[in-house]
Amino acid sequence: MARTIPMPSKEELPDGPRREFVTELRRYYRVARPSLREISKAVDDHDDPGVKKFTASAETVRRMITGKVLPERGRLYAVFRVLCDMAEVDPDVERWDGDGGYDYEPESNWQYLRRLWDTALEDESDAPPLPRPTPPPPEPKPTAAKENPWAGHDDPWSRDSGYSDEPPF
């Protein structure tokens, strides 16, 4: 049996949306208790094209289940789907709330996890701004040299500048 990665302490991962998301993701991880490499390999070998187009290294999986990173949605789905397969849980079944009934608005396991992920993303106060294209530098203003390539140069036939008076032909 693989060594289980412990849940981060509250000092490492304080209460809040990110901790709720990680706690829910770990529910699926704890049932099967796969190694991080097994999860990574299962993502690579999965039959579902929606899973197969993503990769998740063992380190990426570790960072996800410890709350160090909030993955992109596709990668989250790939890891979640693999964990569900390993835990023999249907990702699309309505989620049981544990209090003897279903949530007020029935959600599938995937919808619930995705909602927690979205809330955790919205809570990120230090999220980087959207990338904006860098504007091109302003066009330089035309100078006399660009309008007349000979501007500022001496004409050898107009002055005595050390050149011969004889034409070059």
Do residues 71 and 64 lie in contact, with contact meaning Cβ atoms separated by under 8 Å?
yes
pLDDT of residue 96: 67
Question: What tens digit of pLDDT does each residue of 90-145 get?
Answer: 998 887 665 555 546 788 999 999 999 999 998 876 655 666 777 788 887 766 55
Do residues 112 and 24 lie in contact, with contact meaning Cβ atoms separated by under 8 Å?
yes
- Model's pTM, two decimal places? 0.67
Distance in angstroms (rounded) separating the CA atoms of residues 39 and 53: 15
* Residue in the structure block whose two tokens are 């060594």: 3
